[in-house]
Amino acid sequence: MRISSRGQVTIPARIREQAGLLPNAEVEFAYDGQGEVCLFRSRRGANKKSRGEALIEHMRGKGDIRMTTEQIMALTRGA
């Protein structure tokens, strides 16, 4: 494995799967001072909201038209 000129390295899929590292996962590095570098999942992002959660929170309470589920379904069906 080689580090790119931009300082990037690809973590093999097998290792990502075993460690549970999904796309966009926050990771941190630690250096032990004797040549060993460790990568681990960041604890800082554990309480951070997902993009979807942030969007829902932002939109909650913004609607000003009250409709029942039946009225919404009638609109979507074109009836």
Q: Model confidence over 8-58: pLDDT tens digits?
A: 999 999 999 998 888 888 889 999 999 999 998 887 656 677 788 889 999
In this prediction, residue 42 carries a pLDDT of 82
User: Coil, strand, or helix at residue 33?
Assistant: coil
| Whether this model's pTM surpasses 0.75 | no
Give the residue among 60, 53, 50 at the shortest CA–CA distance from 23. Answer: 50
Tokens of 4: 């790119």
- Cβ–Cβ contacts within 10 Å for residue 45, how many? 13
